[in-house]
Chains A and B, each alone.
Chain A
Amino acid sequence: MAKPWEIVDLDPDDPLKVSLRQILLGWMEEILSYESETIKGTDLEALHNMRISARRLRAILKIHRQFFPKKLLRRQLLEIEKLIDNLGLVREIDVFLKELKELVKELPAGDRVALQWMLAQQQTIREVYRRTMKAEIRKLMRNGFKRQFEEFVWGSLR
């Protein structure tokens, strides 16, 4: 799992609002940096990293909820949670598939059939989840996910 991006120029002795703003904006950039690889689906770790960075962002928002207007925070959290849920469905299958593929490799050819059947089923489910996930990410981006988040952060942490 990737470490969170280091925030350049962060001074831990600055007022919390300033540091928090820098961290939230930086970590949003981090989430978005994994978008294209996640959509392509070639690098499984990109999806994992996107999910983890989104969870990190959600955790930090919740911990510091007192700094944000309730309604706006709820709206941001809903968007982030939708993203996390969709990424999570694909990720769980990715982990399972990786393990299944290893197991299939270890078995003698005659014993593989039952596992290969399972592998095929799981791959089909994965494709369905991936389609939904891609549509959800595209919708978020179309609706100005980043811009809205930045406005929310700048508006709340002056």
Chain B
Amino acid sequence: MKKKSTLSGKRLTLRSSGQEILPPMLDSFLQRIDPVILKEQRQEPLHALRLRGKRLRYAMEMYVPAYNSPFIDCLDSVKEILGILGRIHDLDINIPVLRQHVRQVRHFNAGINDRALNMPTERLRTIIQQFEEERHNQFLILCDRFLQWKQEEFRQRFLQSIQ
């Protein structure tokens, strides 16, 4: 079913339209946090959260001229979360590429009789391990930030910032 527009028919300004557009976008983002936190390794919920976050961010950037500094603070918080999500996303792309390369190097080595000419893969495997550790650490930071949001009642703060 096609999504309905969120804008009502009354006389809208940039300032007043933000009050209609932004809350559902924020809620759509917030609703996708739990599935991410509950399953660290699952990429799909993380991807969905990141997409919603980006949309929210772009919309918020449009409304910067309409609101004051508490709104900018909220935007900065969203940007920070997106930075973490972006790094996790990069790692989710890079780790499989590196793994594939290890396989490729091994395949190459297998075709060479002189072992002295083999390309070592230990370092590559160490890098993969480092990336995996970094992903885990980024995930912990993400969980920590979301906990902070809850404690600081981010949603409430956000809604107040556009009043």
Contact across chains for A12 and B7 when beta carbons are under 8 A apart: no
Cα–Cα, bound, A65→B101 (Å): 44
Interface residues of B in 5-20 (CB under 8 A from A): 5, 7, 11-17
Contact across chains for B105 and A117 when beta carbons are under 8 A apart: yes
Contact across chains for A95 and B59 when beta carbons are under 8 A apart: no
Count contacts on A: residues with CB < 8 A to the other chain: 34
Contact across chains for A55 and B65 when beta carbons are under 8 A apart: no
Contact across chains for B62 and A92 when beta carbons are under 8 A apart: no
Contact across chains for A23 and B119 when beta carbons are under 8 A apart: no
Nearest chain A residue, comparing its CB with the CB of B9: A66
Contact across chains for A12 and B55 when beta carbons are under 8 A apart: no
Nearest chain B residue, comparing its CB with the CB of A107: B123
Nearest chain B residue, comparing its CB with the CB of A24: B62
Nearest chain B residue, comparing its CB with the CB of A95: B90
Known contacts A7-B65, A113-B119; is A16 also within 8 Å of B94 by CB? no
Interface residues on B, range: 20 to 34
Known contacts A23-B62, A95-B90, A96-B93; is A15 also within 8 Å of B119 by CB? no
Nearest chain B residue, comparing its CB with the CB of A23: B62
Contact across chains for B119 and A114 when beta carbons are under 8 A apart: yes
In the complex, besides A4-B62, A56-B58, 16 extra interface pairs with C-beta distance below 8 angstroms are A3-B61, A6-B65, A7-B65, A12-B66, A14-B13, A16-B13, A16-B16, A23-B62, A64-B7, A92-B93, A96-B90, A99-B94, A111-B123, A114-B123, A117-B101, A118-B101
What are 25 contact pairs spanning A and B, CB under 8 A? A12-B14, A14-B13, A15-B12, A16-B14, A16-B16, A19-B14, A55-B54, A56-B61, A56-B62, A59-B59, A63-B21, A64-B7, A96-B97, A99-B90, A99-B94, A113-B120, A114-B119, A114-B120, A114-B121, A114-B123, A115-B127, A117-B101, A117-B105, A117-B119, A118-B98
